[in-house]
Amino acid sequence: MKRFLFFILLLSGLRVVAQNPVVDSLENQLQKKITAAERVSILSELCWQYRQINQAKGLRYGNEAVRLARESGDKKGLSKSLNDLSILYMDKTQFDTAILLLNQALAIRIQLKDSVGEAAIYNKLGIIYQNQLNLKEALTHALKALDLYEALKMDPNIQTTMNNIGVIHYNLRNLDKSLAIHSQLMELRSKSGNQYGMGQTMLNMGNVYVAKGDTLKGMSYYEKAASLFRKLDKKEELATVLNNLGTYHNQRMEFNQARQNLEESLAIRRMLNNPKDISTVLALLGELNSLTKNYKQAKNNLKEALTISKQFELPQERLLYQKLALLYARLNNADSVYYYYSQYDLINNKLYEDNIKTQVAELQTKYDTEKKENQITLLQQENELKESRIQRNQLLVSLLIIAIAALVVFGFLWRNRLVLKQKVELESTKAILRESQLQAVISSQEEERKRFAQDLHDGMGQLISAVKLNLSKEYVEKNALNHAVEVLNEMNAEIRNIAFNLMPQVLINGGLEEALSELAYRVNNTGKVEISVSAFDLEEAMEPERKVALYRVCQEWINNVIKYSGCTKMDVQLVQHADELVITIEDDGHGFDAGVLASSTGNGWRNINSRLTLVHGQIEIDSSPARQGTTVTISVPVLALASAA
């Protein structure tokens, strides 16, 4: 099986491993008094810096950064810490955990509308899926990254991502597609003068042509890449091309050319002092010398490679034991064959055990992460519920105080009016009596609310304005003046809110559409729910009782939807037909069993039915617990409305 090296950007924005002074400086900063966001940033950076120095420490710092970012609500810091921690897990080949963390970081960057960060994560996910040989997922994520980079017009990132996509198509054996992408990329890099990138593309195109069977063209691209890397003095990249050339010549039994390429590559690797690359080239030379029956040199090459691999715990140690066993088999040295195959089996068994442990560790990490997420979500929900209860209690207390005040001031008048009304209606039918009582109750409530609202709006507003004018005199101290003006402004705003809740002035002076639009505006200002109001052919002149009844029905339903459905959007539509007025209210909240309302004893539902009875209206509810969203249709005959007036 042919093995050729590709150039592929493993991580966007790859950073150099930190030296101890950098790490020490970061750790010293943690001892100072800094903000939570600064601490998250430093912990995340330490996670990155320790990834190739001490992975255990890197994990500890990374997990601490994630925990602190969650507790402090630092979304930007949480995204960065999840990203850096995922790369450490990728280095440990714990790909499932890395994918889990990156997907969490991706969700945050989408929420923050960070398109550049979103594209970078798609690239990382694509690379992880390549390592897992899940090439379809790798291609999907690389294409998402490319779409974002093209929209952002980030040419260097576009070229890098196109290179990755070309390599993925090569691995999928879509050779023509891979060649087309690399050819397009060559034009882009040539136009931008990116000679280093052109060398990368030449190497990858050489691999594609060799895979297609056009070895002469493939070798031509290898030679062009080697020439360009020599010119640019890119030693590591040149050594990569020489490895490919040596591998190719070795497989064609062109041993002299293969030896020349591999020895030059080895010299470069030794100069760069990269143990893994040195071990790889020595293994290739060992195979070459074994094929040419230069067994002594083959043993020297393979044993040196094995020594380096054991010293630096490189993954090729297992294969080197196998190669040495095969070499000694050719030499008929049974003892050495047995020894090296035994070592090969030991490592195989250890790798199997380590793989099991890694899978268990990944599952545990995934479980712990999801458990923490669930705990945080539950805590947030409990806090929101407590806050909601406090607000509800405060509202109830305020309403109770207002109700008591109204009863004290108007109690006797209410009692006398009710007695007189009952005497007049004694000879009426039960249905007429029930309707008349209901009309009297509702009319009285609305009249008192209207009067109370008018008093607050005009009387208290004028009083507050007068106090503000008096305090704003020339000899008043500045601090006292500013404080008084601020308090009075708050009192004025609070009184206007109370007045709106009791009886919106816009409903009295304007119409139903204006009042509902004002209600929607106040709800929208909370930032929790977005309400839109639209009206078609609505009567300009509508009787006060009609406006009030329909407004209170809509207000009651909207309040209940906000309180119980968890919706984020709501549409209110009013359509005036020739014979009826139709009001439709739609929301995207949780559905419910509409049949439950029929047996409900709550005041809200009872008030809605009472007011609709007054105007001979009907209400239909379209909802189900099995789906999102609820639609309510309220229809009121025009004749009934007129008669109600």
Between residues 454 and 264, which one has the greater pLDDT?
A: 264
Q: What distance separates the 2 farthest-apart alpha carbons in the chain?
A: 125
Both tokens assigned to 644 = 């109600």
| Closest among 69, 59, 127 to 373, alpha carbons compared | 69
- In DSSP notation, 133-197 reads T-HHHHHHHHHHHHHHHHHHT-HHHHHHHHHHHHHHHHHTT-HHHHHHHHHHHHHHHHHTT-HHH
pLDDT at position 274 is: 83
Residue type, 359: Q
Q: How far apart are CA 83 and CA 61, in angstroms?
A: 13
- pLDDT score, position 355: 54
Question: How confident is residue 266, by pLDDT bands cut at 50, 70 and 90?
Answer: very high
What mean pLDDT comes out for the span 108-114? 93
Quote the CA–CA distance of 503 and 492 in Å, as a whole number: 16
Report helix, strand or coil for 125: helix
Predicted confidence at residue 284, as pLDDT, reads 92
**DSSP one-letter code for 534:** E
The mean pLDDT of the chain is 81
Is pLDDT at 631 greater than 70 in this prediction?
A: yes
Nearest residue to 402 via CA among 522, 488, 495, 491:
495
Opening angle at CA 327, ends 323 and 332, nearest 5: 140
pLDDT reading at 346 higher than 90: no
**What single DSSP character describes residue 526?**
T
* Edge-to-edge strand ranges of the sheet holding 580-590: 530-536, 569-576, 580-590, 628-637, 618-622
pLDDT over 90 percentage in the chain: 38
Question: % helix / strand / coil in the chain, to the nearest 5?
Answer: 75, 5, 20
SS3 263: helix
Give a three-class secondary structure readout of 52-102: HCCHHHHHHHHHHHHHHHHHHCCHHHHHHHHHHHHHHHHHCCCHHHHHHHH
Instruction: Give the Å distances, CA to CA, from 383 to 14, 190, 335, 377, 387.
Output: 41, 59, 71, 10, 6
pLDDT in tens, 10-24: 333 333 333 457 888
Phi, psi of 621 (to 5 degrees): -120, 125
What are the tens digits of pLDDT across the range 58-101? 899 999 999 999 999 999 999 999 999 998 898 888 999 999 99
Q: Do 485 and 472 contact (CB within 8 A), yes or no?
A: yes
Q: How many Å separate Cα 443 from the centre of its chain?
A: 51
Task: Say if residue 627's pLDDT is above 70.
Answer: yes
Q: Cβ(641)–Cβ(614) under 8 Å?
A: no
Lowest mean pLDDT across 56-70, 180-194, 487-501: 487-501
Amino acid identity, position 147: D
* pLDDT top residue among 639 and 7: 639
pLDDT digits (tens, 9 = 90+) for 385-427: 777 777 777 777 777 788 787 677 776 777 777 777 777 776 6
Which tokens belong to 317?
């140690």
Residue 93 region, left (φ>0) first, then alpha (ψ -120 to 50), else beta? Answer: left
Contact 363, 371 (CB under 8 A): no
Name the 3-class secondary structure at 620.
Answer: strand
- Reading the block at residue 152, the tokens are 């952002």
Architecture of domain 510-645: 2-Layer Sandwich (3.30)
Dihedral pair phi/psi, residue 524, rounded to 5°: -60, -30
- pLDDT tens for 155-174 read 999 999 999 999 999 999 99
Angle formed at CA 384 by CA 71 and CA 78, multiple of 5 degrees? 25
- Residue 390 or 367, more confident: 390
Burial level of 157, CB count in 10 A (0-12/13-18/19+)? buried
Least Cα distance to 457 among 504, 496, 515 occurs for 496
Task: Tell how far CA 223 is from the center of its chain.
Answer: 46
Inter-helix orientation angle 275-291/235-251, to 10°: 20
> Per-residue pLDDT for 483 more than 90?
no
Residue 633's DSSP bridge partners are 584, 620
**Residue 353 CA: distances (Å) to CA of 91, 132, 162, 282, 363:** 19, 19, 38, 29, 15
Q: What value, to the nearest 5°, has the Cα angle with vertex 148 and ends 146 and 150?
A: 65
Count of all residues that appear for the chain in the document? 645
Given a cut of 80, whether residue 230 has pLDDT beyond it is yes
Model pLDDT, residue 389: 76
Residue 288: pLDDT over 60:
yes
Nearest to 516 by CA among 564, 572, 563, 567: 572
Q: What is the dihedral of CA 225, 228, 232, 233, to 10 degrees?
A: 60
pLDDT score at 8: 45
* Best-predicted range by mean pLDDT (95-99, 359-363, 369-373): 95-99
CA distance 630 to 567: 10
Phi, psi of 337 (to 5 degrees): -60, -45
Q: CB neighbours of 91 closer than 8 A, spacing ≥ 6? A: 51, 52, 55
> Nearest Cα to 243, choosing from 216, 205, 203, 196?
203
Where on the phi/psi map is residue 184: left (φ > 0), alpha (ψ -120 to 50), or beta? alpha
Distance CA(237)–CA(382), nearest Å, equals 57
AA letter at 261:
N
pLDDT at 544: 76
